[in-house]
């Protein structure tokens, strides 16, 4: 068994949760925050049998799309040179980031 930690964008979460549920995957949903953008995202914990892992990855890929966000880098006061005044930069986000971890034991008491 594997534990998949999937970090997905909030906008993709309802569709992905629906697909996972329809396909019989069990999921726990956590509200999370990206360390770089400091914006909300969603972390899904999915305990899955090894043979179903490829199917899970396909569903995540189908439901999560890449978007770009404009971010204004913060330049400390007094360090702004001519033409360097915090031009927004485009940052790609997603589709999704997945960590796949070996599960030593799955216990339900």
- List interacting residues with ligand 2BA (CB under 6 A): 7, 24, 26-28, 34-37, 39, 41, 45-47, 91-94, 97, 108
Q: How far is the CB of 77 from ligand 2BA (least distance, A)?
A: 22
Q: Which is nearer to ligand 2BA, 82 or 106 (CB)?
A: 106
Find the shortest distance in angstroms from Cβ 94 to ligand 2BA.
5
Burial state string for 10-26 with b = 16 or more CB within 10 A and e = fewer than 16: eebbeebbebbeeeebe
Within 13 Å, how many C-alpha atoms sit on residue 49's CB side? 4
Q: How far is the CB of 59 from ligand 2BA (least distance, A)?
A: 14
SS3 state of residue 7: strand
Nearer to ligand 2BA, 82 or 92 (CB): 92
């Amino acid at each position: 068994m594997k534990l998949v930690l999937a970090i997905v964008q909030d906008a993709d979460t309802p569709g992905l949760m629906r697909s996972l549920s329809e396909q019989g995957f069990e999921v726990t949903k956590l509200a999370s925050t990206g360390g770089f953008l400091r914006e909300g995202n969603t972390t899904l914990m999915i305990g899955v049998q090894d043979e179903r892992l490829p199917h899970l990855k396909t569903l995540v890929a189908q439901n999560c799309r890449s978007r770009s966000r404009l971010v204004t880098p913060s330049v400390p006061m007094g360090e702004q040179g001519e033409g360097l005044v915090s031009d927004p930069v485009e940052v790609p986000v997603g589709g999704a980031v997945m960590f796949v971890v070996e599960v030593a034991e799955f216990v339900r008491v």
